[in-house]
Chain A
């Protein structure tokens, strides 16, 4: 060996694991470095983390500080109820209005075609899980056109199609537990009215003034 090792070279070899040629000075330097590492380790190796710190991290749940957990739950509840509100509210009347338009556009909007309530009412028996009240509309501006069974969020509901002049009114009749909880605002040029009667929930949807729907309600509530 014709020169001494630099500090970098000594730093890079791991002390006594290396076979050192004939240079006593370099050998000493490397050994000193290895010894230095061991002594530094010895001096710096203080104890482990105190158990109370570990417990604190685990109990207060490092992964969720309590306030973060509460905030997350609150945020989730808010978002879900907002979504539920939207779904129950705004979309209910929109969906019913869509059904109204779709059925009127179809070739057969109703399955039982009759102006006779004594025909329409028994037709629903066994088709929906409740008795469908069909009043006598003879002395009103309305006339019965017919009825059919519809599905609302997987539950059966009765559908009556009622005429007033050239207009058609869709009347949906639900058991209360199957009915939309809130209706929301109907689309432009449409009216909607919901009421409870005889243990059932009625929702009328049509492109008529809301006053007409109030009139229909009165006819059904007689």
Chain B
């Protein structure tokens, strides 16, 4: 049984995204076994809903969104949601030379744990922007938020990483 959008099958479009989806699942769940289950469930849902995918739009944004929704309705996801902080730090450019040194010297492990401790919506924008190199427009599409929100969320995410590296909370 093959399901098609345009001329491509679901597998042709979605399987190349496996590594990216797995990374996303890992950073959402922070657990490898859970991430694997999440990816598998997202693929099944994607296949079932493939008729609703519009050929020509971003399959990556579509699959990321499915994975995200699947996660948010999971038990871990429901626990993760209430941690949305209303951080009112003004987004100003405050990076100075010590910042550079701090970033250069930080080891990968402490950086990783700083990111792991960020609330979900900051972790995911960092991943989409810096690792998957998605455009702000694609991130906005994936998360169903305006592009401006993507920008401000990224700024705050980076501020939080800096603070964490400085040992602040």
Do residues A50 and B130 form an inter-chain contact, with CB atoms below 8 A? Answer: no
In the assembled complex, the Cα of A53 lies from the Cα of B23 at a distance in Å of 13
Contact of A44 among B21, B32, B131, B162 (CB under 8 A): B131
CA of A56 to CA of B40 in the docked complex: distance in angstroms?
8
A7–B92 contact, CB under 8 A?
Answer: yes
Question: How many residues belonging to B are interface residues under a CB distance threshold of 8 Å?
Answer: 50
**A29 contact set on B, CB distance < 8 A:** 93-96
Partner of A35, one of B15, B32, B94, B103: B103
Q: Identify which of B3-11, B54-62, B65-73, B138-146 touches chain A.
A: B3-11
- Cβ of B87 to closest chain A Cβ, rounded Å: 13
Complex Cα distance A12/B129, Å? 12
Q: Which of B9, B18, B161 contacts A36 (CB 8 A)?
A: B161
CB atoms of A46 and B23 under 8 A apart? yes
* Chain A residue total in the interface (Cβ 8 A): 44
Q: Is A140 an interface residue (CB 8 A)?
A: no
Stretch of A60-68, A78-86, A111-119 at the chain-chain interface: A60-68
Q: Which residues of B contact A (CB under 8 A)?
A: 1-3, 9-11, 14-15, 18-19, 21-23, 26-27, 32, 36, 39-40, 43-44, 47, 91-97, 99-100, 103-104, 106, 108, 111-112, 115, 126-127, 129-131, 151-152, 154-155, 158, 161-162
